[in-house]
Amino acid sequence: MFDTDKWNEILSTIRKNKLRTFLTGFSVAWGIFMLIILLGSGNGLENGVKKQFASSASNTIWIWNGQTSLPYKGMKPGRNIQMKNQDYDEIKRTVEGIEYGSPRFNLWGSNLLSYKKQYGTFNIRTVYPDYQYIEKLEIREGRFVNNTDLRQFRKVTTISTQVVDALFKGEPPLGKYINVNGIPFKVVGTFTDNDERDDNMRMIYIPMTTAQRVFSGENRIHTISITVGDATAEESKQIENNVKSKLAAIHKFDVNDPRAIGSWNSVEEVTKFRKLFGGIRIFIWIIGFGTIIAGIVGVSNIMMIVVKDRTKEIGIRKALGATPWSIISLVLQEAILITSFAGYIGLVLGVVVLETVGSKVESNFFTHPEVDLSIALYALILLIGSGALAGFIPARKAASIKPIEALRDE
């Protein structure tokens, strides 16, 4: 039952000690504010790193040409390793655990694209159909390059929405021909990239076999990319080693040569970052709770002072028949009120700062600093519980005061 007189008394005590109450509340509000800011900043950093992986599947292994640095079976180091179409075919056929795969033949330098009187310099990627899933492309119209395009060496292309805007100026692109370095290619589809980075959006895709034939690539490839499904970091590393072993056997180099073939395993990198951010979250909670505990200790100390200042008053209450619980609840309610109000203010200010200031400091590695509302509420509930605990010890002391000793207190 709500006791109006008791709450009026608590509010009256707070008004009489404004500075003391403010300083106590500030320490609590600062603790929850810093916890929210730290959690939000940690999430912003994690979101930024995830954004860097968003442009392609997070279970991808990339392999590229290198140069031998170790002698092998009488052959000197310094040999250039040049992968070929049949290398990829052999890898896809014999290495277990591969989900999607695509080789790439790179077209170096500036690539001029044109349609009617519109011109622009864009990037060209020559790929297999699986690359759509490796790069996580979203097809807006039409389709991506397919296996028939590869087999028949078709001059077709799937272009980004940014290329559409630059060249077609509102005209429907499907079925039209654009000039790619002076050679006509039919537009069969348009796409957008999930992270919409400028380098990925200024892009067109063409069948790799067509590019090799049209642009004198013979059967050379520069990069192989594969995905490994739901393989663990250890399993993906084994798949990567199997690919390297296969290439080492084909091109006759030491499988332990670190420079013969370059590689990057996103599964390993993602796993490392997950462990890193797990450690960061633990560190943030430790620092945040340390700050909150400092505020709670302040509340406990202030309530001890309150009990000391009101010793005679408490003695009179007990002499008039007040129960120990009524004394305990009086002190507890004041501690909970200060903690709850100050904690709520700190929580709101922390969220406001993240929403306003955080959105203005975004970068490639820091974006969307935010806090899960449920976590924030759990933190506030924990704070209130801690406030009650902080007030309980001085409340017990107040309840144990004997009326005779209290009335003698000066």
In terms of Cα–Cα distance, which of 229, 234, 255 is closest to 81?
A: 255
Place of tokens 């806090």: 371
Tens of pLDDT along 219-266?
A: 999 999 999 988 888 999 999 999 999 999 999 999 999 999 999 998
- Which residues in the chain show pLDDT less than 70? 1-10, 13-14, 17, 48-57, 194-200, 288, 292, 295, 299, 302-322, 324, 327, 358-366, 368, 387, 390-391, 393-395, 397-399, 401-410
Rounded CA separation 18/40 (Å): 32
Q: What is the pLDDT of residue 388?
A: 72
Predicted confidence at residue 361, as pLDDT, reads 67
Which amino acid, 221?
Answer: I
Q: How far is CA 318 from CA 27, 111, 305, 307, 410, in A?
A: 33, 91, 19, 14, 17
Alpha-carbon distances, residue 201 vs 132, 140, 197, 363 (angstroms): 14, 13, 6, 18
State the Rg of the chain over Cα: 34
Question: Would you list the DSSP string of 149-170?
Answer: HHHHT--EEEEEHHHHHHHHTT
Task: Give the count of beta carbons closer than 10 Å to the beta carbon of residue 93.
Answer: 9
State pTM to two decimals.
0.68
What pLDDT is attached to residue 1? 46
Give the Å distances, CA to CA, from 172 to 116, 118, 131: 13, 14, 25
Which residue's structure tokens are 């003698």?
408
Could you tell me which residues are beta bridge partners of residue 186?
156, 177
* pLDDT value, residue 42: 77
Instruction: Show the DSSP H helices in 310-365 as ranges.
Output: 311-319, 324-356
* pLDDT tens digits, 317-326: 666 666 767 7
Domain boundaries, the chain: 4-52+271-408, 60-266
Helices 233-251 and 266-309 cross at an angle (nearest 10°) of: 160
Which helix H or strand E contains 283, and what residues bound it?
helix 266-309
| Strand-pair partners of 203 | 123
